Amino acid sequence: MASDKPTTSDKPTVLIVGAGLGGLMLGALLEKANIPYAIFERTAVVKPLGSALMIGAAIIPIMEQLGCVDEFLALGKATPEVTVGKDGQGALYTVSTRPQFEYTGYYNYIVARPFFYDMMLRQVSKDKLHFNKRVLTISQEEERVTIQTNDNCVYEGDILVGADGAYSAVRKRMYDALKQEGKLPKSDQEELPFKSTCLVGQTQPMDFADFPEFNKDQVAFYNTMAADQPYTWVIFATAQSTIAWMVIHHLDKESSKAAEEQRFRESENSQWGSHAAMEMCDETRDFPLPIGTKKMTMGDLYDLTPVDMISKVMLEEKVFQTWYSGRIGLLGDACHKLNPSGAQGAVSAMHDAIALANLIYALPPRSHASDIEKMFSEYQTERLVHVTESFNNSKAISKVMERGLVGTIALFIRTHFPSWLMKIMIRRQILNRPQAGFLETIPLKGSVPAIVSPSTEKARAVYEQRTATPI
């Protein structure tokens, strides 16, 4: 474990492993706070696979603080409602997000993931972003934390943040050390489970003449369930005139990456990679689209999608108990993986980054290891309650798409869900709208105030103290 010696400068140096949205958000905020940092990404370039993101009041104020809100709004398209239907039965119900605008002053926006990622990439300094840097070893010695990468480079810092995804190398190495010490809970030693796989992609820009539903300033979002097969497919438009889509395969039983890899070794049939994605495309080509002037299928969208924009992924679900150890902490999918049904995965990762940036900013000058471990404890305490709620909400929403009795009951309840109760749920979901306490406060909009964010308040108090004019 790290010793309790103080940092060698007033501000800690932060090493961030992983250049996903959570890592970039943390880097962007540390950039604004003038706190030294470096981001290490194992790939040569991050390819933001997937279709699109839904981002609203929980994140837009941070875009305003970072000074990129106009760019964000130009990239996105407001989404006032989501229509859920069933193959052969048409629309079953519509979820209106208009109450969110009333409560917060913001709509939800659909934004193509690659464009949003590129926007966030521009918020960090190029000289602080290092690609082709796969972390091999991590050690906490004396007053620093040290990482060694695959090119035999060694980097030292005061804080290490693992923002490197569901199969985090930082988490693995941190957990290995804790397990040797007998300090790792049993549940954290178990594999990441999943009950669904997902095919995702995004078409090339196209003429929406055949899709008048998409020729609007506000985007339509359609979710269709198969009548007699374990599949659900979703389509929606982006501001760049593309159609983002995903097809979810609901599995009969829970699995894990390790189990799938074992099946691959035994059967010589890989479940992942480009070949598997194309196989799933072939299996689902005939699924009908719920909109359009012609009888079109998912296959028509596949044909309009560049092959390198199609991928097959696992939809893991788990909230880990252990988020930090000494000077090392985890962020985003590395410590909580949510079902995408609730559209909260990326938002939760970015909220982690906001809380961490606030607490790192509020650290005392020349912090000791004990200060940093206390900071991580405050971070997990604040975020765990919100992450757990998002995790449970996402699981509940995903039940509607399940097959069998559970899915039938969940769908019936959701179809007959009263609008007044939905407004109460939306009101609850929009309460957490944190900001960076060390940046200019964005006045809240809408009729419902946000809950108090302890990390924001702590950073703001420190900021006001540091910037106070001496009498």
| In a shared domain, residues 301 and 341 | no
Q: Residue 382 belongs to a domain with what CATH number?
A: 3.50.50.60
Containing structural domain, residue 329: 14-76+112-190+318-400+443-467
Contact between 88 and 228 under an 8 Å Cβ cutoff? The reply is no
Length of the chain as a residue count: 471
| In a shared domain, residues 66 and 142 | yes
Element (H, E) at 426: helix 419-429
Residue 325 lies in a domain: yes
| In a shared domain, residues 200 and 186 | no
pLDDT at residue 425 in the model: 73
pLDDT at residue 269 in the model: 36
- Domain final position from 316, 342, 359: 316
Distance CA(398)–CA(76), nearest Å, equals: 25
Contact between 241 and 304 under an 8 Å Cβ cutoff? The reply is no
Name the 3-class secondary structure at 14.
strand
Q: 7-11, 398-402, 458-462 — which is least confidently predicted?
A: 398-402
- Domain final position from 284, 316, 348: 316
| In a shared domain, residues 394 and 356 | yes
| In a shared domain, residues 139 and 66 | yes
| In a shared domain, residues 165 and 274 | no
Residue 448 lies in a domain: yes
Distance CA(45)–CA(362), nearest Å, equals: 33
Instruction: Please report the DSSP string for 297-333 in residue order.
Output: BHHHHHHTS-GGG-EEEEEE-EE-S--EETTEEE-GG
| In a shared domain, residues 291 and 374 | no
pLDDT at residue 460 in the model: 97
| In a shared domain, residues 198 and 304 | yes
Q: Calculate mean pLDDT across residues 360-385.
A: 94
Tens digits of per-residue pLDDT, 239-285? Answer: 888 898 989 888 877 665 655 544 443 333 334 456 788 999 999 99
Band of residue 470 on the pLDDT scale cut at 50, 70, 90? low
pLDDT at residue 192 in the model: 85
Q: What is residue 206's DSSP assignment?
A: -
Alpha helix (H) residue ranges in 97-206: 98-104, 113-121, 169-180
Tell me the average pLDDT of the chain: 85
- Domain final position from 301, 316, 331: 316
Distance CA(168)–CA(187), nearest Å, equals: 16
| In a shared domain, residues 181 and 147 | yes
Band of residue 444 on the pLDDT scale cut at 50, 70, 90? confident
| In a shared domain, residues 301 and 335 | no
Q: Calculate mean pLDDT across residues 358-363.
A: 97
Least Cα distance to 18 among 44, 45, 49, 39 occurs for 39
The DSSP bridge partners found for residue 325 are 328
Residue 384 lies in a domain: yes
Residue 186 lies in a domain: yes
pLDDT at residue 112 in the model: 85
Q: How many domains does the chain have?
A: 2
Residue 131 lies in a domain: yes
Distance CA(25)–CA(68), nearest Å, equals: 12
pTM (2 d.p.): 0.87
Q: Calculate mean pLDDT across residues 437-451.
A: 92
| In a shared domain, residues 182 and 207 | no
Q: Calculate mean pLDDT across residues 20-43.
A: 96
pLDDT at 4 over 90: no
Burial bucket for residue 240 (CB in 10 Å: 0-12, 13-18, 19+) = middle
pLDDT at residue 50 in the model: 62
Q: Calculate mean pLDDT across residues 78-87.
A: 70
Residue 9 lies in a domain: no
Q: Calculate mean pLDDT across residues 355-362.
A: 98
| In a shared domain, residues 463 and 354 | yes
Give the β-pairing of 90-96 and 221-225. Answer: unpaired
